[in-house]
Amino acid sequence: MQKVVVLRWGHRLRDKRLTTHVALTARALGASELVLADVRDGKIKEKIDGVSETWGGHFLFEMGVPWKQVVAKWRNKGGIVVHLTAYGENIQSSDVLQRVKATGKDVLVIVGSRKVPSEFFSKRVSDFNVAIGSQPHSECSGLAVFLDRFFEGEELSGEFKNSKMKIFPQKHGKKMVKSDDSESPK
């Protein structure tokens, strides 16, 4: 199966929650790793690692690596790069997703924040510029739709191994199950 890693570009220290939500989205919807480009933010790493410890899985959070280095390394290893942008090929009205999948290669998904460097749109950086509809919205919603379509919804019912807690789906109310199987209603 093709692996997906997310490159988060343009983290703003005054806007920590959005990067946190991008990372939580990446983890919950099937990506293997998030790389926070160029800057370090230990609080976000702590939060995401804490979520993984409680809720399981093997999600990695890297930070502080220059984006050019991440892209160059990824391409050298034979992976492809998908830049999510409202200006790209529309995921619904074009065959871009089929072409991404047909490569069979691991995918580095770049999401921005403020105006991204123009190089992101070029062939040197991105093999595909993919639009989640041709209206501007958010890195979080764009990433969520891309991952869900890429993994065809399978990621939503997947097991997160080695969790301390599991959510036990309910018609009404909230129930969590500890990994030792003792139930803890909440």
Site residues (vs ligand SAM, CB under 6 A): 84-86, 111-113, 115-116, 131-133, 135-139, 142
Tell me which residue has tokens 């958010």: 138
Helix (H, G, I), strand (E, B) or coil at 140: helix
Least Cβ distance, residue 110 to ligand SAM (angstroms): 7
Q: How far apart are CA 132 and CA 130, in angstroms?
A: 7
Residue whose C-alpha is closest to residue 87's, from 138, 141, 130? 130
Instruction: Name which of 30 and 112 has its Cβ closer to ligand SAM.
Output: 112
**Nearest to ligand SAM by Cβ — which residue?**
112
Q: Cβ closer to ligand SAM: 90 or 163? A: 90
Q: Which is nearer to ligand SAM, 137 or 164 (CB)?
A: 137
Q: Are 118 and 70 in contact (CB under 8 A)?
A: no
Q: What are the tokens at 183?
A: 């139930």
| 145 neighbors 151 (Cβ within 8 angstroms) | no
Instruction: Compare residues 22 and 63 and give the one whose CB is closer to ligand SAM.
Output: 22
Q: Which is nearer to ligand SAM, 11 or 57 (CB)?
A: 11
CB of 116 to ligand SAM, least distance (A): 5
N-term to C-term CA, the chain: 36
Nearest to 33 by CA among 70, 78, 86, 85: 70
Phi, psi of 73 (to 5 degrees): -65, -45
Nearest-approach distance from CB 109 to ligand SAM, in angstroms? 9
- Minimum CB distance to ligand SAM, residue 124 (Å): 18
